Structure 1
Amino acid sequence: MPVKSRSAFRTTLEFTLSVIESPPHETPHRAPPPPPSRRAAYRAAGLGAAALALVAVVVLSIAVGAKPIPLAQVWPALTDPTAAEYAVVHEMRLPRTLLGLLAGTALGVAGAAMQALTRNPLADPGLLGINAGAAAAIATAALLFGVGAGAGQIWFALAGAAAVTVGVYAVGGGRTATPARLALAGAALNAALYSYVSAVMLLDAAGLERLRFWTVGSLAGADEDTVRRVLPFVAVGLLAALAAARPLNALALGDDSARALGARPALIRAAVIVAITLLCGAATAACGPLVFVGLLVPHLVRVLTGPDLRWLLPYCALLAPVLLLGSDVLGRVLGRPGELQVGLVTAVLGGPLFLWLVTRTRTARP
């Protein structure tokens, strides 16, 4: 081989070996996720921040109203019977705030559990007609039996919510139901039931006056009796939903995989349906059909927690009442000297927020 050829070959070989032995070129990519222990620490810190946000909005809910209370006087107004604002706080604002806490927690947890159970990101107590079923049952009870606000109203609401839950599942195909069919069945039943409620209200003038604010969604009529009646149903439903968090995670892998992990799919579904019925029925009976709370909050929370329901449900239990009570406070501020009903505010805020969330979410394409 000529000297020049050997020299060129040696140069080429050395260059090739240097390329092979050198570290590969690093391309831009997302930073690797933190280790599990650090992720758990981040989520726990976020849960603490959510709890602080809830405390802050509770204080605002007690302080803001027709007669504002300075923030420094909120604690004395809660604890000192001789304070000037003690009667106003305990008779009006504290029950309203507690009811907002219960209803927000119920709707947020029910929405997250429903989305996990149906594997449908649009599943919501409102969109699937469960709230409409409770509203239709209450309107029927008011028209036929003269049932007003009270324990009887809650039982009718629970029966209506349970009936529509079973109806949506049956119309959607039963065991062969798909997320799309469940959404279509829920939308159809939702429209039919709200048309029925409107017809009942038009037929009964007295009922129209009683149910006018309730059908919009309101916390204004809260009192201690309402809070006491709703609390047991929300507590039982919340405990059932939280207990089903780990089995629901297994169920997300499919029925066969869930059985291999020791879960019982039929029992899990039954327990979650009971929890959703209790949560939605109690919240709707007390506050009326509130929209977007159970749909929007789980989507926002997944940005922080991912799909793990062991973290998703506690976050929703804290942040959903933040949204509901914050909307109620905003309605009092914007509607002075009156107020805007909280159902109107959540609808106005929820629509744009959900559209923004959809546009910000990246979906995988095949």
Structure 2
Amino acid sequence: MFNRKKRIAICAAQIPFNYGGAEILVEELNNQLNMRGYQSEIINVPFKWYPKEQLIDNALQWKMVDLTESNGEKIDQVICTKYPTYVINHPNKVVWLFHQHRPVYDLLDTPYTEFSKTGNDLKIINHIRQIDNRTLAEAKKIYCISENVRNRLKEYNGIESEVLYPPTKLDGSYKEGNFEKYIFSAGRLDPLKRVELLIQALKFINKEYKLVIAGKGKHEEKLRDLVVKEGVEDRVKFSGFVNDETLINYYSNASMIFFAPKDEDYGFITIEAFKSGKPVITTNDSGGVLEFVRHNGNGLVCNPNSREIADNINNLIENQEKLFQLGKKGIETVKYINWDHTIKSLVIE
């Protein structure tokens, strides 16, 4: 039986006015803990990554937060999520690592970071890594949301951890539907999500098929410009941020789901697609997505090349029976991911 008196603080760092998969996961973790009788609350501190020195100040803010008690009552445990939440001091600190500050780790030497390995940048990089090494080692348990995140933690910090895959917010609500003539893309519109690969591929894909894009983000304007440049305005729909019912229906009735981010930490879209019985189209550098997607097993894995993506999608369109079978396999792939197991792992009893 769950202890109905345990008080748990979930430590979260959010960029104000920015909402995505991490924020959804934190909210749902809080909901699931409360549903099981725990007294759970989200402790959210705003996160700012510029100027670069601000990253150190953010860590110091968490170091100064006291969550051992509140209003004279003990807080039994904290669950930390991403940099720099795990800097906090607590005797029962559990880390469920969404990701570290990737621009000073695996994104170095890529277009997705502002850091170089020289001068003051290098000092900040080393400082952040020292903070991670010291404060993560204080945790009683360390879980990562994917093999990809676990491998990074081991490679860069030499720290061992376990994988604990997050269930989706709407677990149990997804449903199998029709295979209508559209490809669905969901999530924050950010350069790392690489929706442009599919937009560029669309002109080579069977003209009967359209693209529906759900989500908002800083990359939206560039994607809209690209749609015009590629001459596919009549085949692309930007739906913006959609409610849960609309999202479920989009997944349910799509022919397939496109999700090809650059070295993704985990990727809820993969799980949501498979729960809906739809194959996932991804690329061979998509990181955590590849822990689930198997080429010609439950989806397609291509090079990050628009023409190759188009050719693979066309082959799938021409073989509808294969399309249906890949979707069925996806359901089997993720059926073991559920909240009961997740909560049991995260809570110290």
TM range (shorter): under 0.3
Instruction: Identify the structure with the greater strand proportion.
Output: 2
- Looking at CA atoms only, which structure, 1 or 2, has the larger radius of gyration? 1
Normalised TM-score (structure 1): 0.22
Normalised TM-score (structure 2): 0.22
Instruction: Identify the structure with the greater helix proportion.
Output: 1
